[in-house]
């Protein structure tokens, strides 16, 4: 240690301030201002001077209230006020009582924070929808790049968020952070965010890109037909599930488009009177991811209900008789009802004490309890309906005495 350094150290200790290696850090923001307090115990007012070291530059001299440079001025007597801070203002500052000869060590380190500015975040390769949303397809590789201007070097973080959950991909102290995600899965649809934090000012900027992950339907396409319960009306349902976005579905019959849809299920209700010929409805599906197109079709075979029964039954007075009726060939499955031809219109037979109706599979059984000639003899009608057609069959019941 040379004599000068020894003196500096002595002065530094005497003045009770910190020496250069343990200088007080004063943070400032680019464009802002900083106040550096003087560590001298000596008198007030204009009796201190301010200087920078390496190289030594006097920024505020003893004699002046201010300085020739309006950037520097005196505050509260001995403090130094610096306006319009720039990165170049970073460095070590010291103050000295004017009557002293030698400079004490610089006791303040001024650090300037700048930014983060101009944050840019990119995900590539992606496609962009007309509304600006990015999308990619399952299995692709994505490169992320986040950059910004910041001093000191920022903490740069790339993360994925969906709903409540988030996953941190990478975080480093760098102005440009790159990250790669391979074999993207459908559950990586969500928000991708780059967050940049200036370690000095703690100023934070972020940039979020919502990303959709397209994928074809996961399951086979399916079709079904249902009787709506309204006579002569049936519904066709087509579904192709598990894709994103939903596929385009279309029901058609004999080259004629019945309905179009852009949901994963398409339902159309038809009136059988519109189809005198045997209809063969077909559903066509298409799922498109840019130029990757997946198509599928399915169709339903509609079937009229056909009925089978005995034309004639007899019942002994006072006993029970069971009439039966079978339906076959119906698609959608038919609903069977029993009617009595006693007036016009025919009257539907309802289960109760007198009549018992049981359906087992495609067979329906009507039991007439305690036959009487006056009340029960006559025509019974078995009626089946499935929306595609309605069929009826007549059964004559004879009631005899023993």
The answer to whether 191 contacts ligand NAG (rule: CB under 6 A) is yes
Measured in whole angstroms, the distance separating CA 2 from the mean position of its chain's CA atoms is 69
- Do the beta carbons of residue 27 and residue 200 sit within 8 Å? yes
* Token pair recorded at residue 238: 């087509």
For residues 250 and 298, give the distance between their C-alpha atoms in angstroms, rounded to a whole number: 11
Q: Does 76 bind ligand NAG (CB under 6 A)?
A: yes
Output the smallest distance, CB 275 to ligand NAG, in A.
17
CB of 346 to ligand NAG, least distance (A): 24
Q: Which two tokens stand for residue 246?
A: 């939903």
Residues 10-39 that bind ligand NAG (CB under 6 A): 35
Kindly write down the DSSP assignment for every residue of 41-96, as one continuous string: -S--TT-EEEEETTTTEEEE-SS-SB-SSTTEEEETTTEEEE-S--GGG-EEEEEE
Size of the site for ligand NAG (CB under 6 A): 42
Compute the least distance from the CB of residue 115 to ligand NAG, in Å: 9
Q: Which of 1, 2, 44, 128 binds ligand NAG (CB under 6 A)?
A: 44
Least Å distance, CB 279 to ligand NAG, is 17
- Which residues on adjacent β-strands are paired with residue 368? 321, 355
Under the binding rule (CB under 6 A), the answer on residue 75 touching ligand NAG is yes
361-390: which residues touch ligand NAG (CB under 6 A)?
A: 369
230's tokens: 């309204």
- Check residue 257 for interaction with ligand NAG (CB under 6 A): yes
Q: What is the secondary structure of 186-235 as a DSSP string?
A: GGG-EEEEEEEE-TTT--EEEEEEEEEEEB--SS--EEEEEE-SSTTEEE
Query: By rule CB under 6 A, what string of x and - marks binding of each residue 267-286 to ligand NAG?
Result: --------------------
Smallest distance, Å, CB 166 to ligand NAG?
Answer: 9
69 binds ligand NAG (CB under 6 A): no
**Residue 308: CA count within 13 A, CB half-sphere:** 7
**Among the listed residues 16, 31, 66, 125, the single contact to ligand NAG using CB under 6 A:** 125
Q: Which is nearer to ligand NAG, 69 or 262 (CB)?
A: 262
**Rounded Cα–Cα distance for residues 156 and 298 (Å):** 51
Q: Which of 319, 348, 375, 392 binds ligand NAG (CB under 6 A)?
A: 319
118 binds ligand NAG (CB under 6 A): yes
* Residue among 54, 47, 53, 56 nearest 74 (CA): 47
Structure tokens at 318: 């006072």
C-alpha count within 13 angstroms, C-beta hemisphere, residue 306: 4
Q: Is 79 in the site for ligand NAG (CB under 6 A)?
A: yes
- For ligand NAG, the binding residues in 150-189 under the rule CB under 6 A are 155, 161-164, 172-173, 176, 178, 180
Nearer to ligand NAG, 8 or 397 (CB): 397
CA dist 366 → 146, 161, 339, 342, 395 (Å): 77, 63, 10, 17, 11
Using the rule CB under 6 A, is 7 a contact of ligand NAG?
A: no
Which one of 40-48, 357-365, 375-383, 391-399 is the stretch in contact with ligand NAG (CB under 6 A)? 40-48
Q: Are strands 390-400 and 312-316 parallel, antiparallel or unpaired?
A: parallel
Residues lying near ligand NAG in the complex (CB under 6 A) are found at 35, 43-45, 75-77, 79, 117-118, 124-125, 129, 131, 133, 143, 145, 149, 155, 161-164, 172-173, 176, 178, 180, 190-191, 199, 210, 224, 226, 235, 237, 250, 257, 260, 319-320, 369
């Amino acid at each position: 240690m040379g004599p000068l350094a020894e003196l500096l150290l002595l002065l530094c200790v005497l003045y009770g301030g910190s020496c250069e290696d343990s200088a007080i850090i004063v943070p400032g923001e680019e464009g802002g201002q900083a106040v550096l307090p003087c560590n001298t115990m000596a008198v007030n007012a204009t009796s201190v001077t301010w200087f920078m070291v390496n190289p030594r530059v006097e920024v505020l001299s003893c004699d002046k209230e201010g300085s020739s440079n309006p950037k520097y001025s005196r505050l509260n007597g001995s403090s130094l006020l610096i306006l319009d801070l720039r990165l170049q203002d970073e460095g070590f500052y010291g103050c000295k009582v004017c009557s002293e000869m030698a400079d004490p060590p610089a006791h303040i380190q001024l650090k300037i924070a700048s930014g983060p500015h101009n944050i840019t975040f990119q995900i590539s390769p992606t496609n962009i929808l007309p509304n600006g949303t990015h999308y990619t397809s399952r299995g692709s590789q994505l490169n992320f790049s986040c950059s910004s201007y910041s001093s000191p070097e920022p903490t740069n973080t790339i993360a994925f968020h969906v709903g409540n959950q988030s996953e941190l991909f990478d975080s480093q102290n760098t102005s440009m952070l790159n990250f790669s995600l391979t074999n993207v899965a459908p559950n990586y649809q969500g928000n991708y965010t780059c967050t940049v934090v200036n370690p000095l000012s703690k100023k934070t900027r972020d940039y979020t890109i919502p990303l959709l992950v397209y994928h074809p339907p996961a399951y086979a396409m399916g079709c079904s037909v249902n009787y709506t319960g309204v006579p002569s009306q049936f519904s066709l349902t087509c579904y192709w599930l598990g894709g994103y976005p939903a596929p385009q579905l279309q029901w058609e019959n004999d080259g004629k488009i019945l309905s179009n849809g852009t949901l994963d299920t398409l339902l159309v209700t038809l009136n059988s009177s519109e189809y005198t010929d045997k209809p063969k409805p077909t559903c066509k599906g298409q799922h498109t991811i840019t130029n990757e197109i997946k198509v599928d079709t399915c169709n339903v075979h509609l079937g009229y209900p056909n009925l089978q029964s005995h034309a004639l039954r007899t019942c002994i007075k006072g006993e029970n008789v069971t009439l039966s009726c079978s339906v076959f060939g119906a698609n959608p499955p038919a609903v069977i009802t029993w009617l009595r031809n006693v007036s016009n219109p025919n009257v539907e037979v309802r289960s109760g004490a007198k009549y018992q109706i049981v359906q087992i599979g495609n067979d329906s059984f009507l039991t007439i309890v305690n036959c009487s000639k006056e009340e029960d003899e006559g025509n019974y009608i078995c009626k089946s309906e499935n929306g595609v057609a309605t069929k009826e069959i007549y059964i004559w019941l004879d009631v005899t005495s023993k």
